Amino acid sequence: MEERTVLPVDGFERKKLTASELPGFFRGIRQRYPDREITFLCIGTDRSTGDALGPLVGTRLAEHGFPHVVGTLQFPCDADNLELRMAAIPREHVIVAIDACLGASASVGSYLVSGQPLVPAQSVGVTLPAVGHYSVAAVVNVNGPKPYWTLQMTSLYQVMRMADVLADSIVSGFRTI
């Protein structure tokens, strides 16, 4: 994969945010890069309830008119095509990677944000490259001994609710400066 533009790090590895704190995270990215194109890399598949969060967010962003969205329900960005889809993103774009993840029971429903890349598919044991200059991992269910099965059995309501919160937070954060 081609080397990406190195951006200054915001100085944080990972923060756990609630829904009400998300617009501020996105507003901060927009304020930091007012003249740069932002691409939202929404990772996941429409074939697994728990892993559909990314494509749901991507679809909502595209419906809101965001011009640079990779990964929608119609054209998911998943383990099979991630590297190819990443290669098509212009090097000068700031990338915000969005994916679902599994975590501790106390974290379900929260959002783990970072000023660093996201490593997709870790919970299911797949090795993929780290992606994004910024990242959001939405904790959709509890991590356990059978993560692939857990993602398959995750509540569609939970995933859709979290995807709506993320999309609304991005719209709010990027359209209010």
Domain boundaries, given as residue ranges, for the chain: 15-175
Residue-level pLDDT, tens digit, the chain, 177 residues: 444 444 444 546 789 999 999 999 999 999 999 999 999 999 999 999 999 999 999 999 999 999 999 999 999 999 899 999 999 999 999 999 999 999 999 999 999 999 999 988 776 667 888 999 999 999 999 998 887 788 888 999 999 999 999 999 999 999 864
pTM of the model: 0.90
Per-residue CA distances from 7 to 23, 29, 64, 101, 129 (Å): 21, 12, 27, 25, 17
56 Cβ contact list (under 8 Å, min separation 6): 73, 159, 160, 163, 167
- Residue 173: other Cβ atoms inside 10 A: 19
Q: Which residue, 82, 121, 81, is CA-closest to 99?
A: 121
Contact 98, 136 (CB under 8 A): yes
Length reported for the chain: 177
Instruction: State residue 123's pLDDT score.
Output: 63
Buried b or exposed e, range 89-104, using 16+ CB within 10 angstroms: beeebbbbbbbbbbbe
Say which DSSP state 43 is in: B
Please give the CATH number for the structural domain made up of 15-175.
3.40.50.1450
DSSP-derived secondary structure for 58-72:
HHHHHHTT-S-EE--
Instruction: State residue 146's pLDDT score.
Output: 85
